[in-house]
């Protein structure tokens, strides 16, 4: 009986405080907009002065005879590979022009400066992981371009290595979707490639998008669905990840051993399972993550030994964490991260430090927490008392992960209630925001055309 009465009292108190805080709302701008769902871009324009190729022609022979500046335009039909597009040569076709695998090796290879593959469908590749057999393989081809290409039934989709200023734009890559996700090939793999653009592509049912040992690249407007790593950076510096959609992957974006990354205006949604996370950092330095929406993830943000390089910091500004099991998790008591004007609402656990410890060594200011129980009497939008995260059940679960099984149960609710009523078991603070946002109105996350979904 006392438990029900205590629960009713706490609910009434929290409701009253919520009304007080809501009454102080001062017209704070809406939360970040998220990128629109991917729609197929217009097909690449047919090059001028094209040499016509019919399905009955020997395309491989025609490509071998082509010279820099030549363009070959395919008629609809099926063309049996493999094919090689050399320096300065353009191969164009409609989606109904299908370049089919011979059953082994790469289906289409590009090498040499300015090689271009535009508009066609590439069907299949070899099946050897050790040789990384791909539908499209770009090697040592500065200024190469793969645009508007559809890839199906291939082990690896598009691989680019040892190149500069390559453009992958408007491609659609369909992975195998097999249940053993580690046995799928990567949708896009970038290796030792610099100053390139990966834009407006859609990758579904593949394993990863990999950016390894590659610097100063732009990833914009892509959609990655149903994979393992939406984008995985390793030893890759100075890259920009802006306006992408990551939905239903195990991990949205993971940054390892990399520095100077900009991660802005992305949607990272529905990353589930034991390893599920929207954004993860491991030994990453000088990362700036701003205006991202992280919704319905197991972990919204995971931080492990970051920032890594002495004298650097990682900054998280204006991000929205919604409906996550854990909004932000630190692998241990990390220091040197800066959290400004982020919004954490509807999460089961706002911030957690795995194994115990605290997040006091990070800089928290102006963040919006839906469990803030303070007030703003002067109406300036800043809480008059600090936000302190203290959770006895959260501290126990951080040290004993098996207690996650009881998350949301009355048992853990009563543990927290007891810790508030009995100061002898009051937990130490996990974080303190001395100037919390107390004036943020509750807005839905929106796209330019309506309320965003995570499907």
Tens digit of each residue's pLDDT (9 = 90 or more) over 89-131 = 999 999 999 999 999 999 999 999 999 999 999 999 999 999 9
pLDDT for 440 beyond 90 = no
Q: Confidence class of residue 424 from pLDDT cuts 50, 70 and 90?
A: low
Contacts of 411 by beta carbon, 8 Å cutoff, 6+ apart: none
Give the single-character DSSP code of 90: E
Q: Tell me: the pLDDT tens digits for 348-398?
A: 999 999 977 899 999 999 999 999 988 899 888 899 999 999 865 555 555
What's the Cα-to-Cα distance from 348 to each of 184, 223, 351, 394, 444, rounded to whole Å?
33, 27, 9, 10, 18
Distance of alpha carbon 215 from alpha carbon 289, whole angstroms: 18
Domain that holds residue 423: 2-451
* Lowest mean pLDDT, pick from 88-97, 133-142, 356-365, 414-423: 414-423
**Does the structure show a pLDDT above 50 at 2?**
no
State the DSSP H helix or E strand holding residue 17, giving kind and residue range, or none if neither. helix 2-23
* pTM for the model: 0.86
Buried b (16+ CB within 10 A) or exposed e, 356-370: bbbbeebebebbbbe
Q: Which three-class secondary structure state does DSSP give residue 63? A: helix
The CATH number linked to 65 is: 2.160.20.10
Pairing of strands 450-451, 167-169: unpaired
- Give pLDDT, residue 355: 78
Question: What is the domain count for the chain?
Answer: 1
- Chain-wide mean pLDDT for the chain? 87
Instruction: Quote the tokens at residue 346.
Output: 């509807």
Does the pLDDT at position 333 exceed 50?
yes
């Amino acid at each position: 009986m006392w438990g029900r009465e205590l629960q009713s009292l706490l609910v009434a108190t929290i409701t009253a405080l919520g009304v007080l805080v809501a009454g102080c709302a001062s017209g704070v701008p809406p939360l970040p907009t998220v990128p629109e769902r991917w729609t197929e871009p217009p097909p690449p324009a047919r090059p001028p002065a094209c040499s016509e190729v019919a399905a009955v022609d020997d395309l491989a022979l025609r490509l071998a005879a082509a010279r820099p500046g030549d363009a070959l335009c395919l008629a609809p039909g099926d063309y049996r590979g493999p094919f090689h597009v050399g320096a300065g040569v353009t191969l164009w076709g409609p989606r109904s022009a299908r370049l089919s695998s011979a059953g082994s090796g790469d289906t289409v290879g590009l090498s040499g400066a300015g090689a271009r593959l535009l508009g066609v469908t590439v069907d299949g590749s070899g099946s050897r992981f050790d040789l990384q057999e791909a539908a499209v393989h770009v090697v040592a081809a500065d200024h190469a371009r793969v645009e508007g290409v559809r890839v199906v039934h291939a082990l690896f989709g598009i691989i680019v290595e040892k190149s500069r200023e390559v453009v992958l734009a408007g491609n659609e890559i369909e992975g195998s979707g097999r249940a053993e996700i580690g046995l799928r090939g990567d949708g896009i793999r970038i290796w030792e490639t610099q100053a390139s653009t990966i834009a407006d592509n859609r990758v579904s049912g593949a394993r990863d998008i990999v950016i390894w040992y590659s610097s100063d690249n732009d990833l914009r407007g892509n959609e990655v669905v149903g994979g393992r790593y939406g984008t995985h950076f390793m030893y890759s510096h100075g890259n920009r990840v802006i306006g992408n959609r990551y939905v239903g992957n195990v991990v949205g974006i993971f940054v390892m051993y990399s520095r100077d990354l900009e991660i802005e205006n992305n949607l990272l949604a529905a990353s589930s399972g034991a390893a599920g996370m929207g954004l993860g950092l491991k030994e990453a330095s000088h990362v700036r993550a701003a205006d991202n929406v992280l919704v319905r993830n197991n972990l919204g943000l995971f931080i492990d030994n970051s920032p890594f390089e002495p004298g650097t910091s990682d900054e998280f500004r204006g991000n929205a964490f919604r409906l996550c099991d854990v909004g932000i998790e630190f692998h241990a008591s990390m220091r040197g991260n800066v959290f400004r004007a982020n919004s954490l609402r509807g999460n089961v656990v706002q911030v957690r430090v795995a194994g115990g410890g605290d997040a006091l060594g990070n800089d928290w200011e102006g963040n919006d927490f839906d469990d803030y129980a303070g007030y703003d009497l002067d109406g300036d939008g800043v809480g008059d008392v600090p936000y302190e995260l203290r959770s006895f059940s959260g501290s126990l679960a951080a040290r004993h992960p098996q207690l996650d099984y009881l998350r949301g149960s009355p048992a853990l609710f009563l543990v927290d209630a007891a810790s508030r009523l009995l100061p002898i078991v009051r937990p130490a603070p996990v974080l303190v925001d001395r100037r919390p946002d107390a004036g943020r109105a509750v807005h839905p996350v929106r796209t330019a055309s309506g309320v965003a979904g995570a499907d």
